[in-house]
Amino acid sequence: MAYKAKEIDVPKDNPFKYDRLNRKEEVLNISTLLQNISSPIVFSINAPWGTGKSTFLRMLHMNLINEENNAIYFSAWETDFARDPLLAFLGEINKSITSQNKKLNVEAWRNAKKAGGQIIKRGLPIAIKLATMGVLDLDKITEEEVSKLMETYSNDLIKEYEERKTAIDDFKENISKLTGNGNDDTLYIIIDELDRCRPTYAIELLERIKHLFDVKGIVFVLALDREQLSCSVKGIYGREFEARGYLRRFIDIEYTLNEIQESEYVDYLFDYFELNKFYKQDYRTKSSQLKSEESHLKNVLKTLISHNKLPLRDIEQLMAKLKLVIISTKHNEFTYPALLAFLLITKEYHTELYNDFIQKDSSAEPLLDLLKKMIPEDQRFESFQCALIEGYIISSKLSQKHPSGQQILDKYDKRLEGDEISRTERQYLDKVKRIAENPTGGIGRSVNLDHLVQRIEMSKQFNFANNSVDDD
């Protein structure tokens, strides 16, 4: 059974085959823009962590290749163990050029690599320089000897500077020839997961890109979370440093991804985690009381996820926890889907409220207030899913014989008796009351909160990896 969604496949013959977030048109638009843009340029794709940037870039990369462009995909995070990002970067480009991009000028690339090796070289510290010249006891050498040694070292530094400057010029010249023998082809270099790298690595890679690859024929596409990367910059240069202005030095155009369509992503994960199999067991589909739980769970999830703006990774982990709770439920038992989903989200983002609610001597009011804060009144009164959540919350306290359950229902009765409430509110409160008094559709049955909480608490014993679904 699956407990973690695998990385979304991007087949070469159909890059959008598994596009669960409806990004195809967006990818095609960006692809067309990049193919008509003047180079050199650094183009960034900005979106918060966990919103599908990696899948977007991999589809973009494959689409560019399918349209017969030279395109290289580079995952910065997978190489941030390297001392120098240029070393890792050149290594990854080398693999792509030698194995995939037949149109590129291989001879120019060989020369660029050679020059890149000179750029990467580090100057030796002065103490090592002196030691290698046979001076082992610095206290015993004369001032004149020190002066001569320092002059020698200074000359070495100047020579090293000149050599590296020449190497940079050679590197840029050969990179400019990389896209062909004098033709106007463009090389697209796509860099993913920059914001997941250690701060010094990410910043140095940006500096390398801007200083060494600022040549005609090169288009960079960077995936990043601008806010996260700004924090990395401040971590290096101080909290008062103007990080956004600093980043603008390296990025020419920034594009922010459209917001994701959570509804279709929930459907995808619902199938992937095989929750549909549980709810489609014969007993459940034939039971008049249980057969609606699948649709209730899907619709409640979509409502809560939409209003809480959960990132993809959080949605995935929520679904994984849901699966653990659901498959620990007997085939003929209620899963109380509306309350289950709401409690899992409350536990993750409002832990104190959750911990208070599950106590037998606690009121239902704080959790109902949270629901009202999450979803505006005009939308709540129109939502059957909200009525389900509210009805289950009240019913759970009725089953615990806590007075707050009945007190809330009495308050609703008074409102229903009055003439001042709107038609939609009246219908909503009536639904809540009916659900609270008969949550399972069976006479005399109520929400077994203790049983549900036991299974929810069991899920916290499991760890859920963060690097799944979509690396970024």
Q: What is the pLDDT of residues 331-347, one digit of tens each?
A: 888 888 899 999 999 99
* CA dist., res. 373 & res. 362, Å (int): 20
Residues 142-151: pLDDT tens digits? 555 555 555 5
Single-letter amino acid, residue 416: L
Residues 405-438: pLDDT tens digits? 999 999 999 999 988 889 999 999 999 999 998 8
Q: Where are the domains of the chain?
A: 24-256, 262-459
Q: What is the pLDDT of residue 255?
A: 92
- The residues, ordered by sequence, that sit 6+ positions from 39 with a Cβ below 8 Å of its Cβ are 186, 216, 217, 218, 219
DSSP state, residue 442: S
CA dihedral 402, 403, 405, 407 (to 10 degrees): -170
Q: Average pLDDT of 363-390?
A: 94
* CA dist., res. 430 & res. 380, Å (int): 13
Per the structure block, which two tokens stand in for 159?
Answer: 């020579």
Residue 6's pLDDT band, with cuts at 50, 70 and 90, is low
Pairwise pLDDT comparison (124 vs 284), residue with the higher score? 284
> Is residue 50 over pLDDT 80?
no
* CA dist., res. 69 & res. 397, Å (int): 63
pTM over 0.85: no
Average pLDDT, the chain: 81
* CA dist., res. 415 & res. 393, Å (int): 19
Q: What is the pLDDT of residue 349?
A: 93
Per the structure block, which two tokens stand in for 83?
Answer: 């001392």
Q: Beta-carbon neighbour count of residue 28 at 10 Å?
A: 16
What CATH architecture does domain 24-256 belong to?
3-Layer(aba) Sandwich (3.40)
* CA dist., res. 340 & res. 361, Å (int): 20
> Is residue 235 over pLDDT 60?
yes
> Is residue 356 over pLDDT 50?
yes
> Is residue 376 over pLDDT 60?
yes
The position carrying tokens 């050969």 is 174
The position carrying tokens 């799944």 is 468
Q: What is the pLDDT of residue 233?
A: 79
**Residues forming a β-bridge with 25:** none
Question: Which of 176, 181, 191 is closest to 115 using CA atoms?
Answer: 176
Identify whether the C-beta of residue 391 lies closer than 8 Å to the C-beta of residue 434. yes
